[in-house]
Amino acid sequence: MHKLFSLTLFIFSLIFISTPALAETSVKLTLPPASLAKWYKPENKRQVWLHTMFRLRRAMQAVNNYAIHNNQAGMQKWADKLNEDYEKIAEMIPEWKNEIKPRLLPELKMFIESNDIPRVKATLKMIKRTCNDCHETYQAQATAIYRSPEYDDIPVKNINGNISNFSDEMEALSISVNQILIALEDRQQSIALQASKNLKLQLNHLGESCNQCHKDEQAPYERILGSATMQRLQSLEDNILNKRIKESRKLMGEIGVTICARCHNTHRTLSDLREALVN
C-alpha cells in the first residue's frame, strides 16, 4: 500500500514538474506591420529602413563616445542626428508609435546642455532599451521577410532541358541522390550510373541559376559547384563503373555535405523561415 502510494506520488510529481516544460513547446513570432514594405526594395529604391537603423546606431555610439570624452559640441551634434532619425521611426511606421519614447530625446539634449554626463549616459541606456525591445520582437522576422531572397521566380532547367522552378528541381535532385544510394545498396550498377549522370546534369542546370542573384561573381559558384565538385562527380561515375561501392558511398556523403548542405545553410534555412512568415 505504502509502495503504491509513493509510486503514485512519484508519477504526480513527474507530471507536475514536466507540465511547465510542456507548455513551452511553441514560440510566438510577431509580424512587423505590412507598411514596412514601403521602406524596402522593390517598393522603395533603397533599403531606407535599414539605413535609418545604421545611422541610429552610429549616432548612439557618437554621443556615448563624446560623453566619455566630455565633448559637449560633439554630443550636441550627434544628439540632433539621433533625434531626427529616432523620430523617423514613428513617421515611417505609425503602427510603431508606441514602441519608441520620443520624450527621451529632449531630455538627452537637456542633460547635454547642463553637461550632466551621468544623466546623459543613463538616458542613452533608456533609449537603447527601446531599440532592444523592438529588435527582440521584430528584427529577425523583418530581415527574413524584406531582405532574404525569393526563389519562386528563379528559372532552373529540368533534366530534359525545359524551364522548371527551384522547388521542383530540388525535389528532382533529392530523387537522384536517393536513387544512387538505393542502387548502390542493392548493387544495381547501371541504375546507379544513370542516376549519377542525371545528378551531374541537374547540378549543371542549377549552376546556371546562380548568376540570377550573384551577378558577375564567380566565387559563390566556385565554392559549391566549382572544380572540386565536378571532380567528385566524375570520380563517383568512375567508382560506380568499377563497382567500388564503399568509395562511391563515401563520395555521396561528401557530395551531400559540400553541395547540398553547404548551399542550404546560406540559402534554404532563411528561405524556409521567410516562406513560413509570408504564407
Please report how close the Cβ of residue 193 comes to ligand HEC at its closest, in angstroms.
Answer: 17
Please report how close the Cβ of residue 30 comes to ligand HEC at its closest, in angstroms.
Answer: 11
Nearer to ligand HEC, 134 or 193 (CB): 134
- Residues that bind ligand HEC in the complex, under the rule CB under 6 A: 32, 49-50, 53-54, 56-57, 60, 86, 89, 96, 99-100, 127, 130-131, 134-135, 138-139, 142-143, 146-147, 149, 151, 154, 166-167, 170-171, 173-174, 177, 206-207, 209-210, 212-214, 219-221, 223-225, 259-260, 263-264, 266-268, 271
Nearer to ligand HEC, 229 or 239 (CB): 229
Please report how close the Cβ of residue 188 comes to ligand HEC at its closest, in angstroms.
Answer: 20
Grid cell, residue 180, equals 544512387
State the Cα angle at 169 between 245 and 208, rounded to 5°.
95
Please report how close the Cβ of residue 152 comes to ligand HEC at its closest, in angstroms.
Answer: 7
Nearer to ligand HEC, 179 or 271 (CB): 271
Nearer to ligand HEC, 154 or 159 (CB): 154
Please report how close the Cβ of residue 17 comes to ligand HEC at its closest, in angstroms.
Answer: 38
Please report how close the Cβ of residue 23 comes to ligand HEC at its closest, in angstroms.
Answer: 28
Q: What is the 3-state secondary structure (H, E, C) of the chain?
A: CHHHHHHHHHHHHHHHHHHHHHHCCCCCCCCCCHHHHHHCCCCCCCCHHHHHHHHHHHHHHHHHHHHHCCCHHHHHHHHHHHHHHHHHHHHHCHHHHHHCCCCHHHHHHHHHHCCCHHHHHHHHHHHHHHHHHHHHHHHHHHHHHHHCCCCCCCEEECCCCCEEEHHHHHHHHHHHHHHHHHHHHCCCHHHHHHHHHHHHHHHHHHHCCHHHCCCCCCHHHHHHHCHHHHHHHHHHHHHHHCCCHHHHHHHHHHHHHHHHHHHHHHHHHHHHHHHHHHC
Nearer to ligand HEC, 247 or 275 (CB): 275
140 phi, psi to nearest 5 deg: -60, -40
Cα–Cα distance between 188 and 180 in angstroms, integer? 9
Please report how close the Cβ of residue 20 comes to ligand HEC at its closest, in angstroms.
Answer: 30
Nearer to ligand HEC, 8 or 234 (CB): 234
Nearer to ligand HEC, 187 or 214 (CB): 214
Nearer to ligand HEC, 14 or 272 (CB): 272
Please report how close the Cβ of residue 175 comes to ligand HEC at its closest, in angstroms.
Answer: 9
Residue found under cell 536517393: 178
Instruction: Give the residue among 128, 111, 122, 129 at the shortest CA–CA distance from 75.
Output: 111
